[in-house]
Amino acid sequence: MAIRELRFMGDPVLREKALAVAEVTAELRALIADMFDTMYAEEGVGLAAPQVGVGDRVIVIDARDDDVPPFALINPQIVHFGEELERDEEGCLSIPGLKEIVERPAAVRVEAIGIEGERVEIEAEGLLARILQHEVDHLDGILFVDRVSTLKRKMLLKRWQKVKPE
């Protein structure tokens, strides 16, 4: 297991659509283990494969909730969005130094494949629903700065020029 190099906003890999995983291989399991290591090293609550430069549809999440153990999802799909919207502050390991309030559906249902190749279905709300949406967005090349108003985005991108890692 190893900590992989994080990719930051501006890196083209973060804007590409990740590809569906065809098979759960040893290589994929190693990627997932490394993604957990990287997420914990950076004290994140979620990480998507493109953030370590891999264009596979894989995410890892640890919502720091005693009732929800950390988990990895392969080919996650949000199959239902709740009608109610919720606003909360988001950050991203690929955009360190920036945080902004983002409005998203408060609840989602997600279908995916687990690390044993099993089908997984998750009903989530609150923080977990937010993390799931944020990470699945990464697989489609979408960042949280795309989910705010044009004015807010301009301010964030301006600030990014000052705080982005070299």
What's the closest the beta carbon of residue 44 comes to Ni ion, in angstroms? Answer: 8
Please, which residue, 42 or 125, has the CB nearer to Ni ion?
42
Stretch touching Ni ion by CB under 5 A, among 56-64, 85-93, 124-132, 151-159: 85-93
Determine what percent of the chain falls in helix, strand and coil, rounding each to the nearest 5: 35, 30, 35
Among 28, 92, 108, 113, binds Ni ion (CB under 5 A): 92
139 binds Ni ion (CB under 5 A): no
Shortest gap between Cβ of 92 and Ni ion (angstroms)? Answer: 3
For 97, which DSSP code? T
The span from the CA of 57 to the CA of 71, in Å, is 14
- Segment contacting Ni ion by CB under 5 A, of 26-34, 87-95, 104-112, 113-121: 87-95
CA distance 126 to 142: 20
Say which residues have a Cβ less than 8 Å from residue 106's Cβ, sequence separation at least 6: 82, 84, 85, 86, 125, 126, 129
Does residue 111 have an active-site annotation? no
Binders in 3-62 for Ni ion, by CB under 5 A = none
Residues making contact with Ni ion (CB under 5 A): 92
